[in-house]
Amino acid sequence: MHVALVLPRFFPYRGGYENSLLALAKYLVAHNHRVTVFTTIADDLESFWLPSFKTFPEEQISVDGVVVRRFPIHYNALRRRATRLLGLAPYWRWKAQYWRPSFLVPGLSEALLASDADLFHIGPLPYNSLMYAGLHAGELRGVPVVATPCSHLGEPGNNAVAKHYLQPHQVAMLQHCTKVFCMTQTERDRLHELGISPDKLAITPFGIDWQSTVGGDPEFLRQKYKVDGPAVLHLGMKAFEKGSETLVEAMKILWARGSNAWLVMAGPSLSTFDNYIATAGKDCPRLLNLPPFADTEKRDFLASATVVAQPSRVESLGLVLIEAWANCKPVIAADIAVSRELVTSSGGGVTVPFGKAEQLAAAIEKMLSDPQLRQSMGAGGYKKAMEYQGDTPWQRTAQEFEQAVAHGQR
């Protein structure tokens, strides 16, 4: 079976979706399948609209037997505005190709059509134009197209996030796929409500790489960064939607009360967060704002943290929560449906309303003051994390791929 993975960014860019697709691709190759990744030169979210900002070379390489093809991004502003007008038309195929946040990737559609792939996998939302390129190639070639949209459902009673992920043209794309893979029951239920047939929907959550997640050095933060108190860890992208700014404000509340806890933020950041922290981070000696880290350091960060805080409203699963639980660490997440599903079923932490610094501060303070509570939550989370370890998640997805290909050949 030859699988084509169509996605906006790929290794060595490190994000939850990209890491998971790399693990899936390696699993498929190890089980005698071929995998070709069709992606762009982007090495950052802002690379999609800022010319020459953190990009990889346009090239074809091999990563552990996985063929990776990178295509350029068209940055011409006039061309983008002109095609955006087509996205105003009340036709889902045009909206999928041209409406925000679409961008042109020269050569991609032609390469997909020329591919001999037996199956196209597309995702995540809201990268509509790339997803549509994969869908259209599959339709023209008569091969199955499956999607992992990683829908972000946002907060209760607030459409600020969901409106970017569940627009009618995006739902139409998913309806035209052979199969749609959901991270949680919550996501499956929502997509069903929006009109996607339950026969198309499968719950196949991503997993975690246990070896790169556990077994770290519990003294890492103290020894390398001189962290001399409890450590609240925020791992991954730093952005407003990820709750990063609210977390800083919550910690400032605790520091004003005399807390000796540290806030350790490690990972890439959007420029908006950089601008925020340049001012908000002044006179915060217990704030450690670190750049993207090596894979070998992730487990050290997790092992040496006291609490992991990811109060994000843009999650389809929350792999950092699961990685924290693999290290028996309690977590604090935003009160969104997918996080509630994980946290409630495990007892591995608490949820707080997104953007509420006072309530977030109270949750952090309570955890830091109660070792028994942290231990109990960490133990509950560990049991939940066991469901996501090993090859089981990739095996389920591979089986779905094989069934889709076999059905398409009938």
Q: Which residues of 370-392 are buried (b: 16+ CB within 10 A; e: fewer)?
A: eeeebeebbebbbebbeebbeee
- Give the model confidence (pLDDT) of 265-280 as tens digits: 999 999 999 999 999 9
The length of the chain is: 410
Model-level pTM greater than 0.75? yes
DSSP structure string for 229-278: S-EEEEES-B-TTTTHHHHHHHHHHHHHTT---EEEEES-B-HHHHHHHH
Question: Which of the listed ranges 202-216, 221-235, 395-409 does the model predict with the highest average pLDDT?
Answer: 221-235
Is residue 388 a contact partner of residue 208, using CB atoms and an 8 Å limit? yes
Distance (Å, whole) CA 247 – CA 142: 48
One-character DSSP codes across 43-85: SSGGGGTSTTSSB--S-EEEETTEEEEEE--B--HHHHHHHHH
Per-residue confidence (pLDDT) for residue 409, from 0 to 100: 65
Q: Identify the bridge partners of residue 308 per DSSP, sorted by sequence position.
A: 233, 331
The owner of tokens 């008569």 is: 142
CA separation for the pair 185, 337 (Å, rounded):
10
pLDDT at 148 over 80: yes
Q: SS3 letters for 266-313?
A: ECCECHHHHHHHHHHCCCCCCEEEECCCCHHHHHHHHHHCCEEEECCC
186 CB-near residues (< 8 Å, 6+ apart): 153, 337, 338, 340, 341
pLDDT tier at 386 (50, 70, 90 boundaries)?
A: very high
Give the C-alpha distances (Å, rounded to integers) separating 160 from 24, 288, 314, 344.
31, 30, 10, 24
Residue 111 has pLDDT above 90, yes or no: yes
276 Cβ contact partners less than 8 Å away, ≥ 6 residues apart: 240, 245, 248
pLDDT over 90 percentage in the chain: 85
Amino acid 45: pLDDT: 86
pLDDT score of 82 more than 80: no
Look up residue 389 and give its two tokens. 């370890």
Under the banding of pLDDT at 50, 70 and 90, the label for residue 53 is confident
pLDDT in tens, 288-339: 999 999 888 999 999 999 999 999 999 999 999 999 999 999 999 999 999 9
Dump pLDDT digits (tens) for 246-272: 999 999 999 999 999 999 999 999 999
CB 406 within 8 A of CB 223: no
The percent of residues above 70 in pLDDT, for the chain, comes to 100
Q: Which residues of 27-63 are buried (b: 16+ CB within 10 A; e: fewer)?
A: bbbeeebbbbbbbbbbbbbebbeeeeeebbeeeeeeb
- Is the alpha carbon torsion for 153, 157, 158, 159 positive or negative? positive
- Whose structure tokens read 């929006």? 194
Helix intervals (H) in 2-55: 16-30
- For residues 109 and 69, what is the distance between their CA atoms, to the nearest angstrom? 13
* CA 328, chain centre distance (Å): 22
Q: Which of 294, 288, 255 is nearest to 14 (CA)?
A: 294
β partners of residue 121: 5, 146
Q: Is the pLDDT of residue 410 over 70?
A: no
Name the DSSP letter for residue 90: S
**Mean pLDDT (the chain, rounded):** 95
Cα dist. 170→108, 181, 291 in Å?
20, 15, 33
